[in-house]
Amino acid sequence: MAKSIRILLAIAVWYHYEIWQMDVKTAFVNGFIEEQIFMDQLEGFIVAGEEQKVCRLQRSIYGLKCWNR
């Protein structure tokens, strides 16, 4: 695998391509979730008269028990 990466880098240098690096370890963090999870409204999103409403999550958020599945 290291040899193929070196070949790709050599081709990129030869053709003066711009090379970017990114971290993909956390790419799955905001993935879709299969089960229904509800949470209280955050302070900045509460509408007067609707304080008892909750929101249903459509994507996983960091800190959930199922966030890394």
Work out the average pLDDT over 17-33: 75
- The three state secondary structure string of 1-45 is CHHHHHHHHHHHHHCCCCCCCCCCCCCCCCCEEEEEEEEECCHHH
Which of 2-6, 13-17, 33-37, 58-62 has the highest mean predicted lDDT (pLDDT)? 13-17
Average pLDDT of the residues in 50-69: 78
Domain-located, residue 6: no
- Summary mean pLDDT of the chain: 83
Q: Which domain holds residue 40?
A: 24-69
Residue 49 lies in a domain: yes
Q: pLDDT tens digit string along 41-57?
A: 888 888 898 888 999 98
- Report yes or no on 12 lying in a domain: no
Q: pTM to 2 decimals?
A: 0.47
Domain count within the chain: 1
Q: What pLDDT score does 61 carry?
A: 79
- pLDDT tops 90 at residue 65: no
